[in-house]
Homo-oligomer: A and B are copies of this chain.
Amino acid sequence: MPKNKPAPKRRSGCPLNASVEMLGDRWSLLILRDMMIRGYRSFNEFLQSDEKIASNILADRLRRLESYDIIAAQRDSADGRKVLYSLTPKGIELAPVLTEMVLWAARHEETDNQSLVREMQRDKEKLIADVRRRWAEAHG
């Protein structure tokens, strides 16, 4: 039986507003970048990212993203302390959003990772294909 979501009370019915309510903060998209591009899966990996998120905020954002079904959490069977986070299909489909945000900033700001950016420019589909491949196993 599918679990019924408790009707999210939104400020409006606009799809952009829905995206902004789920992802419009200073950390959520960076966590998703770490998963998509770097393959990070654990709390400590996210903690050590360049932007230095605080641990309480990270815990909150992971819970939120999980509540939106963008990521999923499962305990590591090999190490009972670890929780392994993975992208759900809904999370994987955010790859085009991330791609366009990366390309936009790279075009207009001075940023790093020019080689990754050039690769994204050449083939926008590649990232989403790579992400799908990487997370395919995590969802039977």
Given contacts A12-B49, A13-B113, A100-B100, 15 further A-B contacts (CB under 8 A): A11-B50, A12-B50, A13-B112, A14-B112, A15-B105, A15-B117, A16-B29, A16-B30, A16-B105, A18-B105, A18-B109, A18-B111, A93-B107, A97-B97, A97-B101
A: which residues have CB within 8 A of B? 8, 11-27, 29-30, 33, 49-52, 90, 93-94, 96-109, 111-113, 117
Chain copies in the assembly?
Answer: 2
**Once bound together, how far apart are the Cα atoms of A27 and B25, in whole Å?**
10
Write out the residue numbers on chain B whose beta carbons fall within 8 Å of the beta carbon of A30. Answer: 14, 16-17, 20
Write out the residue numbers on chain B whose beta carbons fall within 8 Å of the beta carbon of A50. Answer: 11-14, 17
Residue of B nearest to A90 (CB): B108
**Once bound together, how far apart are the Cα atoms of A113 and B16, in whole Å?**
10
Write out the residue numbers on chain B whose beta carbons fall within 8 Å of the beta carbon of A51. Answer: 11-12, 14, 17
Closest 7 CB pairs of A and B: A13-B112, A12-B50, A15-B105, A15-B111, A18-B105, A19-B101, A11-B51
